[in-house]
Structure 1
Amino acid sequence: MGVRPGVIGVDVARVRGLYPTLATRTAQLDGSFAALQPESVIRAVIATLRSAPAQPGSRSSRSQQSATRVLRARRAVADLVRADPADVVLGQSAGSLLQRFVSLLASDWQLGDEIVLNRLDADLVTQPFTRAARNRGTVVRWAEVDLDTGDVPAWQYDELVGRRTRVVTVSLANPATGTVPDVRAIADLAHEQGALVVVDAGVAPLYAPIDTEALGADLLAVSATVLGGPTAGAVVARPGLLDELGELDDAPAAERSALQRFENFPLPVELLDGVTAAVDHLADLDENPEGTRRDRLVRSVTASARYAGGLFAHLDAELRELPGVTVLGASERALPVTAYTVAGCSPDEVGAFLQRHDVSVWTGASGLSEVLRAFGADEFGGAVFLGVMPHTTAGEVEQFVDAMRQLCRR
């Protein structure tokens, strides 16, 4: 995903001071699904609301201010994933934007065309594609998960992708298993057959620098909430693709640019400075101020990943030793997030027990129905999800492990 070496370092005590939620004694390990908002994001959104923002597109002063916010957010997302701001489509969520793109792509599908989805894809990806496939008579093929590792082996795409394949989807980092598939290898196979590659960034932006071109992504979906931002999202297109797809759109273009035609109006202008602040926050986790924002993002994310990876290795090893605990997957290509089940306990019961011990985790199905079904966890009401974040401490990991030991001894 474009990790580069450099001088790195994260002062975890300083980082923790940036999150008002951490003033409590609760160990916040639910960040892979509900990232904490740093103070800078909260302040940015409040400041925008105080200015009574209006939608861009007018010559009014408030509308012009919003247009500037839109440009700032585009540039921030572009730095995050190494793309051109002109190819960044903003919206109320990554899911709503994907629905717009899927609808447009499907309008050009013919009977008997195929799409290839994968079991690690989140529901926000699979559901709009499967609905569109049903409506268009398109064949849906699935890349399956190796249940021992949690990986989606790239070799199976040799058989899945063919001359009738129109779209291939890939999850860059599933928040249940943390698995990082070989996206570039899959993308190359898809492109050889003329298929479009749609990538969901998932939780990857927190743990590895992302390079859209290096991935081979034609469309890359990014959720701001993963970064600790507000409820907003973006889809980043490869250069020139928005113009190509715009030719499929029957709606009047008026004076809107190709980029603006794909955005869900109204834009969440009151939140966009929060998106920018979230990217800036991520870039500033490492205190070295040298270089561009992109340079600082690479340093900060690399440093955070090394720190979180060290803590997670201990947590993961301890969790796998507990009686009755089943961890989903065991890939060497994984980020510091995981999901697990406990024999005789529903995920909500586990979550409630941990909450009584001042540990917060995420429970349920959480928009990952395909991967949970593949592992059989759907029969138990989903799984327990957790992630080690840049603000997590060794003490919080021990707090979680101790609570789980007590649960498994009952």
Structure 2
Amino acid sequence: MTETALENLTQRLKQAIPALIDNAPVFLDAPSGTQMPRTVLDAMNQYVTVGTANRGGIFPTSLETESLLLDTRRKVCALLGASDHQVVFGQNMTSLAFNAASSLRRDWADPSKSVVVSELDHHANIDPWISCADDAGMAARWLPVDPHRYCLDLSGLDALVDDDCALVAVGLSSNAVGTASDIGPIIDRARSVGAVSVVDAVHGLSHIPVDVDELGADITFFSAYKIFGPHIGAMVIRNDALDRIRFHKLAPAPRTGYGKAELGTQNMEAVAGLSATIDFVASFGDDVSADLRHQITSAIGNFARCEEELTDHFVAGLQTIDGVTLARAPHGIPKTSTVAFTVTAASPESVAFACAKEGVYITHGDFYARTLAERTDVAHAGGWLRAGIAPYHDRDDIDRALNVLDRAIRLARRQP
């Protein structure tokens, strides 16, 4: 897309999202959740307004709910490039991961086995696996992070992921510092030794087109609230993995397909919102006549191009502010538009609070990337400040944020 086309895309997004209209704050907290467009809100409201229903009835609202669920699963498969998979809905990734881990635990009976997790990851992709491994007397191994480059060190991958490995879990990108990991070799290695492979795409999906068929991962998680949607999660699982895992379930529940792993009545209005979310994303693709998958991947690529220039501008601006230290992978390592940093002699909380008072919303803390915060030696000081740029931001938003940050940092460093 041309620069003008990208600017038009941003303006379309701003006009489509009610929270961004009329002197809105600068919502620079996209990694914590993006703002929702009107079409998504309307879809959720419409589902509730015309009459809700559960599955299993022969009356119209129940049949419409069943159709909604099936159609949304199809759209999720298009979103993730999944063909030989089932889509399992749930409250969020953490809940879905703990269910999958506790189900896998039923067949983890060999203490000589291990699970491999990543020091770069959100703990939703760490604790479910290592807690259940610990219950089974199995060891946890760690894919190490290079604390100076904010990326994974894969030099010892083959030794870590060996024939004794039962599961490997890795993130598509870091929700804390934005590093986009090269996970292909990790998934390939897991499959070569017969280990279950798990990908956390929650943070990465809104910035990086995902093709789970190409990756070959057994389980992939995502959450809609990171990509203009409501608070609902999904687990996309390969059919052969679904067949192998003995998921905890109610006795009357199906023994095959997504129903084998999906627990209870779902948040149907959020499913309606997710369906509208995927349509909304696709509408920003380059060719509306293309199939849904191509529209989605094109749109996510366009979003990433919008974010890239703004992120470079934001990073350059941060580097002119006294006391700021970026926590960012060096040039040449792929990154998303998530930017983490610390400030000398100022707590992350005090800076974030001062920014919020001026209408710039940035987050602070470790963002559940606790191990990464410890390995990079920021946990003791309250973690990082984190800004997350979305395609609905423009240059004016970023300049306003930089000006506010400069004042907030000066204020915080003067305080005792």
> TM-score when scaled to structure 2?
0.91
Please state if 1:176 is matched with 2:176. yes
Confirm or deny: 8 A CA contact 1:10 1:286 kept in the other structure. no
Question: Equivalents in 2 of 1:241, 1:297: separation in Å?
Answer: 26
Structure 1 residue 388 corresponds to structure 2 residue 372: no
Would you say the 8 A contact 1:9–1:303 is kept in 2?
no
Q: Distance in 2 between matches of 1:220 and 1:190?
A: 14
Give the C-alpha shift of residue 212 in structure 1.
0.2
Kindly indicate whether residue 217 of structure 2 is the aligned counterpart of residue 217 of structure 1.
Answer: yes
Distance 1:288 1:16, change over 3 A: farther
C-alpha deviations, 1:77-98, integer Å up to 9, x for none? 1111011385111112122111
Deviations, residues 182-203 of structure 1 (Å, cap 9, x unaligned): 1111111111211111000032
1:335 maps onto 2:336 in alignment = yes
Q: What secondary structure does 2:300 align onto? A: helix
Q: Which amino acid aligns with 1:122?
A: H
- 5 Å matches for 1:34-73? 34-73=33-72
Q: Is the 1:308–1:388 contact (alpha carbons within 8 Å) kept by the matching residues of 2?
A: yes
CA drift at 1:219: 0.4
SS state at 1:77 partner: helix
Task: Give the aligned partner of residue 92 of structure 2.
Answer: 93
Q: Percent identity?
A: 26
**Matched-pair contact (CA < 8 Å) for 2:346–2:409:** no
Structure 1 counterpart SS, 2:117: strand
Aligned residue in 1 for 2:407: 406
State the one-letter code of the partner of 2:290. Answer: G
Q: Corresponding residue for 2:234?
A: 234
User: Residue 191 of structure 1 corresponds to which residue in structure 2?
Assistant: 191
Is the 1:77–1:85 Cα contact (8 Å) retained in structure 2?
A: no
Work out whether residues 154 and 181 of structure 1, in 8 Å CA contact, stay in contact via their aligned partners in 2.
Answer: no
Q: Could you tell me whether the CA contact under 8 Å between 1:151 and 1:181 is conserved in 2?
A: yes
Paired positions, count: 403
Residue number in structure 1 paired with 2:200: 200
Q: Deviations over 1:354-402 (max 9, x none)?
A: 1122211122333222222222222122322211111010111111111
- Alpha-carbon distance, 1:113 to partner: 1.0
Alpha-carbon distance in 1 for matches of 2:258, 2:7 = 37
> Are residues 156 and 197 of structure 1, via their aligned partners in 2, closer, same or farther at CA, if it must alter by over 3 Å?
same
Equivalents in 2 of 1:21, 1:383: separation in Å? 26
Cα distance, 1:334 vs structure 2: 0.7
* Shift in CA distance, 268/143, structure 1 to aligned 2, threshold 3 Å: same
Cα displacement (A) at 1:106: 1.5
Partner of 1:154: 154
CA distance in 2, matches of 1:320, 1:388: 17
Q: Which residue of 2 aligns with 1:373?
A: 374
Take 1:80 and 1:187, find their aligned partners in 2: how far apart are those partners?
A: 20
Equivalent positions of 1:126-137 (< 5 A) are 126-137=126-137
Q: TM-score, normalised by structure 1?
A: 0.93
Conservation of the 8 A alpha-carbon contact between 2:97 and 2:125: yes
Q: CA deviation at 1:26?
A: 1.4
SS in 2 for 1:208: coil
The verdict on how the C-alpha distance between 1:354 and 1:86 changes in structure 2, with shifts beyond 3 A counting, is same
Partner of 1:262: 261
The offset of 1:121, in angstroms, is: 1.7
Q: What secondary structure does 1:386 align onto?
A: strand
Q: Secondary structure at the match of 1:32?
A: helix
Question: Which letter does structure 1 place at the counterpart of 2:99?
Answer: R
Q: Distance in 1 between matches of 2:259 and 2:105?
A: 20
Task: Check the 8 A contact 2:364/2:384 in 1, yes or no.
Answer: yes
Aligned-residue offset at 1:255: 4.4
Q: More relative contact order in 1 or in 2 (CA 8 Å, sep 6+)?
A: 1
Q: Matched residues in 2 for 1:47 and 1:158: separation?
A: 51
Query: Matches of 1:345 and 1:62 in 2, distance apart?
Result: 55
Deviations 1:111-134 (A, max 9, x none): 121000001221212121121122
User: C-alpha distance in 2, partners of 1:324/1:99?
Assistant: 40
One-letter code aligned to 1:47? Q
Q: What displacement does 1:60 show?
A: 3.5
Asked whether the equivalents of residues 359 and 400 of structure 1 are also in contact (C-alpha less than 8 Å), the reply is yes
Q: Deviations over 1:99-154 (max 9, x none)?
A: 11111111111212100000122121212112112211010011111112211122
Q: Does 1:312 align with 2:311?
A: yes
Cα shift readout 1:144-174 (whole Å, capped 9, x = no counterpart): 1111221112223122111110000110011
Q: 1:255 to 1:137 in 2, by over 3 A?
A: closer
Q: What residue number does 2:414 align with?
A: none
Change over 3 Å in CA distance of 1:10–1:142 after alignment to 2: farther
Query: CA offsets per residue over residues 314-359 of structure 1, 9 Å max, x none?
Result: 1112223422222223242111112222222222211111112221
Q: Is the 8 A contact 1:99 1:128 kept in 2?
A: yes
* Aligned match of 1:21: 19
Q: Which runs of 5 or more structure 2 residues have no equivalent in the other structure? A: 412-416
Question: How many Å separate the matches in 2 of 1:9 and 1:404?
Answer: 24
